[in-house]
Structure 1
Amino acid sequence: MTVEQCWQPVPGGSGSYIAELTRALADDPTVDVVGIAARHGDDEVPRPAPTGRVVRAPLPRLALYEAWSRLRRPRAESLTGPLDVVHATTWAIPGRKVPLVVTVHDLAFLREPDHFTARGNAFFRRAVEIVRAEAAQVVVPSGTTRDDCVAHGFAAEQITVVPHGVRAAEVGAADVTGWRRRSGVDRPYVLWCGTLEPRKNVVRLVEAFAAARAGGQLEHDLVLVGPDGWGETSRDVERALAVLPAGSVHLLGRLDDADLQVAYAGADAFAFPSLWEGFGMPVLEAMAHGVPVVTSAGSSMAEFAGDVGVLVDPLDVDEIAAGLVAAVGHDDADGLRARAAQFTWAASATAHAEVYRSAAG
């Protein structure tokens, strides 16, 4: 299984997926997972970290990815020894002789190529060709991504939908109080978290928040959590924030997992009107804490948020603003937690193991 994503500066949802899946698969005696990563120094620590044995390729990340993409070398078996199946958990797909399983998180780069770098687009498109030519099985996290794959030429019978799970830490009132004090977040707040990049739609969220506050319908602060991604997004967000009262927005950067769990638990609402997601893990994490969610209608998030979430048109600032107002007044913590509890990493791992057996068989 490829686990290199966990060493990326911004591992994102793919890194969480790898860490949680390897942890859950470690409890399955029928599956022996060996991780494959690039060459790293001893001081380079993966966050989050995969569970189990990891072998290192002799090449650093960029060289390894290009070699896999263009040459289909080094083969996975040359690094790990004998294998029954190879699971590429991202678009970095090793060459190999045994059957191949690939997780396709989304095809956002085909839908909105302007939201990605030219180099990234070229790499992803080559990977799509490899998947179509070589993959025995394709795993996707949502029906939305499955439909997108079929629309772009993947064979429907090749694809299995395996939703992600969620793991929410227990958070007490004292934890929230301490985090608020350390972070300077004194007032009730609406939370967003993710990587600042164009498809996350943060500028429209900020504009909607400003409109709701200006109309006197919302008295909350806005808390934005996560690292910068690429493009002009962070500057665009800063320009949008300029119209808001001082102190009403908190840009907290990347939080560690423990603080992020507390930030979820302390929020009055979680807003995530992304333009496109393969799954939308932050929405499910917020729901697991019983926090009302605002997210995009017709998206992968709508598949699990359904009737317990507030669904909005992510291109309509007024509709997002109305959704924020509705969410902070929403009180169905038990329903939100119950819905999130249907999604477990144990169930996801069991389904992945079935895909491995099908590919190998």
Structure 2
Amino acid sequence: MKIALLSYSTKPRGGVVHTLALAEALAVLGEDVAVWTLGRGGDTGFFRQVDDAVDVRIVPFADGPDGETAGERVLRSIEVLGAAFTPDQYDVVHAQDCISANAVGDCVRTVHHIDHFSTPELAACHERAIVAPHSHVCVSRSVADELSAGWGVEAEVIPNGVAYDRFAGTTEQDRRHWTDRLGRYVLTVGGIEPRKGSLDLLESYALLREQQPDIALVIAGGETLFDYREYRRRWEDRARELGVEPVVLGPVAEDDLPALVAAASAFAFPSTKEGFGLAAMEALAAGTPLVVRALPVLREVFGAAARFADSAQSFAAELAAALADDDPDRREAGRALAAAHTWRTAAERHIVLYRSLRRGRS
């Protein structure tokens, strides 16, 4: 089959990581795969090298005029990607987000998680990206149930894979590079934004520091389409009020990320909304103790492999327990869970779905 996977960015967000890993796994299984995306800020490639077996199509996306709103930027993104895309070349068109789903219309759509926007343009984009596609995939049963309850849409559940060997195979020297620089640290990946629960984590960290003043909070990642500057200012103001100074690394080079995760004393995942939690699953692969928000989807995905918290106080307490590393059985359960999620299995299940859809639409 000739398969097009579409994303909205070249940056290392969870949906983009998913798109590239799935594309490469499909190509290994013999499928003819192309990945389409927008090249923002002059980008001509993805954040990492993509296997040569995958056809990479980067559509140039110029900076907008001064004062362009998030809604206007989304609408322009849809227009630019839609104008460049060539659907007649492909047997399967599979969009991975609401921008690419709006750009191509009739497609397979993976709903990674369900957002709730107040901006009219974004709310309309989100709605069309759910109702217009002919078929749907979700990466967890919880999101599929939410889709069914809210829209009457039934989705195929195909969990994410994880690059287990990449995160499990770091060397002591690689890890020491980070511990020598940062000392003992709690890590979170995903930047400073509302959906990642950044303000909540700040409160938890301040409580944790009262008992363990030597522990650092390290925040990696942060590439996003949306403007979270006001939220970031609130976060910085609150950090000053609490008297804490987290280490904000920003985007981390792809080759450096596994060791950063593996060297952490604990991994914090306080997201308020998730579809699967790929960064948290990578932490389990690295053998790093994991504390997540007690969301139904994260209980579904992580089960006994993670610690769960639902308030700043409980998050601080669970992080303290994780830092004590007093549960080797939980750590091994985490490694086993991560190892069981392979991109090959995800790709095989996508191929079965694609073939069934082609038969049904022929």
Same-fold call, TM cutoff 0.5: yes
Amino acid at match of 2:219: L
Which residue of 196, 215, 234 corresponds with 1:220?
215
Q: Tell me the CA shift for residue 217 of structure 1.
A: 5.4
Which letter does structure 1 place at the counterpart of 2:173? A
1:27 matched residue in structure 2: 28
Residue of 311, 317, 322 corresponding to 1:322: 317
Aligned to 1:5: 8
Choose which of 231, 238, 248 in structure 2 pairs with 1:251: 248
Equivalent position SS for 1:324: helix
Q: What's the secondary structure of 2:127's corresponding residue?
A: helix
Residues in 2 aligned to 1:284 and 1:240: alpha-carbon distance in whole angstroms: 29
Question: What is the CA-CA distance between 1:5 and the residue it aligns to?
Answer: 2.9
CA gap of 1:103–1:50, structure 2 versus 1, over 3 A, is farther
Specify whether residues 359 and 69 from structure 1 end up closer, same or farther in structure 2 by C-alpha distance, changes over 3 A only. farther
Asked whether the equivalents of residues 67 and 73 of structure 1 are also in contact (C-alpha less than 8 Å), the reply is no
Structure 1 residue 271 corresponds to structure 2 residue 272: no
| TM-score in terms of structure 1 length | 0.82
Q: Does 1:298 align with 2:299?
A: no
Cα displacement (A) at 1:227: 2.3
Q: Does 1:18 align with 2:19?
A: yes
How far off is 1:125 after superposition? Answer: 2.5
Which of 114, 117, 122 pairs up with 1:107?
Answer: 114
Q: How does 1:87-166 map to 2 (within 5 A)?
A: 87-91=94-98, 92-93=100-101, 100-108=107-115, 110=116, 113-114=117-118, 118-128=120-130, 132-133=131-132, 135-156=133-154, 159-166=155-162
Contact 1:105 1:278 in 2 (8 A): yes
Give the C-alpha shift of residue 196 in structure 1.
1.7
Does the CA contact (< 8 Å) of 1:3 and 1:50 recur in 2? Answer: no
Question: Alpha-carbon deviation of 1:195?
Answer: 2.8
Structure 2 CA distance for partners of 1:226 and 1:72, relative to 1, 3 Å: closer
Unpaired stretches in structure 1, ≥5 consecutive residues: none
Relative distance call for 1:325 and 1:146 in structure 2 (3 A) is: same
SS at match of 2:258: helix
Which region of structure 1 is more displaced relative to structure 2, 348-357 or 34-43?
34-43
Deviation at 1:104, TM superposition (A): 0.9
- Within 5 Å, give how 1:282-361 maps onto structure 2: 282-313=279-310, 316-330=311-325, 331-332=327-328, 333-361=331-359
Cα distance change, pair 359–93 in 1 and its aligned pair in 2 (3 A): same
Percent identity, aligned pairs only?
29
CA distance in 2, matches of 1:47, 1:228: 11
Cα RMSD, aligned residues only: 3.1
Distance 1:74 1:192 in 2: 37
Aligned length: 337
Q: For residues 238-294 of structure 1, what are the alpha-carbon distances to aligned partners after superposition, in whole Å with 9 as ceiling and x for unaligned?
A: 123225556x63111111122221111011110111111111111101000111110
Find the residue that maps to 1:242 and give its secondary structure: helix
- Unmatched segments (≥5 aa) in structure 2: 65-71
- Contact 1:2–1:88, Cα closer than 8 Å, also in 2: yes
Whole-Å separation in 2 of the counterparts to 1:175 and 1:126: 45
Q: Deviations over 1:34-88 (max 9, x none)?
A: 2334578986222145541134668869999748968996495xx2654322111
Letter in 2 for 1:12: R
State TM-score, norm by structure 2.
Answer: 0.82
Find the aligned partners of 1:280 and 1:243 in 2 and give their Cα distance.
30
Question: What is the letter of the counterpart of residue 279 of structure 2?
Answer: P
